[in-house]
Structures are given as C-alpha cells and as structure tokens.
Amino acid sequence: MNKIEIMPVMGLPIIKEEADLGELISKAAERQGTPIQEGDIIVVTHVAVSKAEGNIINLDKIVPSPFAMTIAKEMNKDPALIEVILRESNSIIRMGNGHLITETKHGLICANAGVDRSNIPGERKVAPLPKDPDLSARRIRQRIKEVTGKDVAVLISDTHGRALRRGQINIAIGIAGIKPIRDRRGETDLFGYTLRIKQTAIADELCSAAELVIGQANEGIPVAIIRGYPYQKTEEASLKDLLWPKEKALFI
C-alpha cells in the first residue's frame, strides 16, 4: 500500500526580507526529525515567498490614480489597496458583491490579483504575488538541493475562490521540478475504456492537500512536505501549464 504523508514544517522563524527559504526549510525539517528526502514535494505559501523576496508594499506610500479611487468608492474599499491590485493586473474580469476579480500580469484570474493582507506585520502592508513565482519555486528547489543533496519538487501555493463553488481552496501559482498536469488521455480504465478527457491538475491537488496541515495554525506554518506521491519530474514546469488559453475559456 502506497501511503502519502503530509507533514507541516514547524519551527520556522517569522520570514523576513532576504530570508533563505530553501535553507530555513531544510534545517527546520531536519530539526523536527523529518529531514527532506529525495522525491518530496515542498509546498510553500506565497506570502512567505513574497516576504522573503521583500515584495511587501506599504499602502501609505501608494498614490491611487483617479481610476483606482473611482473603483474604491464604488466598492467601499481602500483606494491604495485598489491601486496596488490594479498595478498587478492586466485587466478587470468581474466586479460585484464586494469582489474584484482581475487577470494578473502572470495570467492568473483571481480575486484582488492575489494581493494578501494577512500574515504581514503592519496593518497597512500587503503582499502581492511573487513577481515570477516559477522562478521563486526554482530558487527554493535549487537551495534545498544545495543544502540537503536531495532532488525535490517545489510548489508555491495561494488560496483562491472558485467561480462556481463557495469557499476557497489552495492551488499552485509557482511550480518547479514537477509536471503540474497528469495527462491521462489515452490510458485505459478498469474495463479497457480509453479515457478521453482526463488531465488531472495534480499541482493544485497537492497544494490543497498541503493546506490541510498549513491551515491549522493561523498561518503560523507556511510550509508542508508531501511524501510518497510518485510524480513526473521535469525542468520545464510552469504556472502557464495550468492556465486556459483565453480562446478556450467558457467562463471569462
């Protein structure tokens, strides 16, 4: 029986600018008696990554544009926050019921361009998504390899709402070392029927699984290790693999 384990990485310090996440994670895993192993999948929340990268914005230093002020008034939100969200975005996709859904510069469609207010010291500071989340993931993966000698996969996770369901789940916004979609088209089922449409977004499922331990501690645990999941290695993984080409999207 191939069991999968999901382990929180405890005892990490509060992440500050220039923190070496790969090293911190490797050492914390070692300290708690679960040293990183070959083939582990390391899931890191985007806020931890943005903090380590110094990608934190002080809303008091933002001058909102007239457009941001109009939207902020319409939505009864902070104009500086709206300005930050718009700067992170290519376009507004939906506005309503207190939600501002945009397409980010990365091509992600999500609420508030992924700009996060929680777990950042200072009520007036926010964390946008990492500038290049795949690169962030690759760097953490590289550092873990240097520190531990182990080849792992790294996923950067974010909490997203869904268009068609209530509640948020965790999905991957940065990917390194793992094929994010398991393409099962052409495989046969129990009775020899050929699967025609199945492309499982395993990177998203792994981030949801990691949240089951990450979400238990008021965000005091920004990292989880998933062990025992056999995945397809690649050096070419990207968030783009998880995005619909616009012309195929039925709901945008």
Task: Scan residues 188-227 and list those touching a second copy (CB under 8 A).
Answer: 188-191, 193, 195, 197-202, 204-206, 208-209, 211-213, 215-216, 218-220, 226
Residue 203 CA to residue 220 CA, distance in Å, equals 23
Kindly state the smallest distance separating residue 98's Cβ from a second copy, in Å.
9
Q: Please compute, for residue 116, the number of CA atoms within 13 A of its CA located in the half-sphere on the CB side.
A: 23
**Quick one: tokens of 53?**
């990268």
CB neighbour burial string for 219-247, b if at least 16 within 10 angstroms, e if fewer: eebbbbbbeebebeeeeebbbebbeeeee
Type and span of the H or E element at 73: helix 66-75
Residue 197 CA to residue 194 CA, distance in Å, equals 9
- Using CB under 8 A, which of 97, 186, 235, 236 touches a second copy? 97
Q: Which spans in 191-244 are helix H? A: 202-214
Site string for a second copy, 2-31 (x = CB under 8 A): xxxxxxx-x---x-----------------
- Using CB under 8 A, which of 1, 38, 61, 235 touches a second copy? 1
What SS3 class is residue 90? Answer: strand
248 binds a second copy (CB under 8 A): yes
- Using CB under 8 A, which of 166, 186, 235, 236 touches a second copy? 166
Footprint of a second copy on 26-85 (CB under 8 A): 32-34
Closer residue to a second copy (CB): 150 or 184: 184
Stretch that binds a second copy, among 16-24, 56-64, 65-73, 110-118 (CB under 8 A): 110-118
Footprint of a second copy on 131-150 (CB under 8 A): none
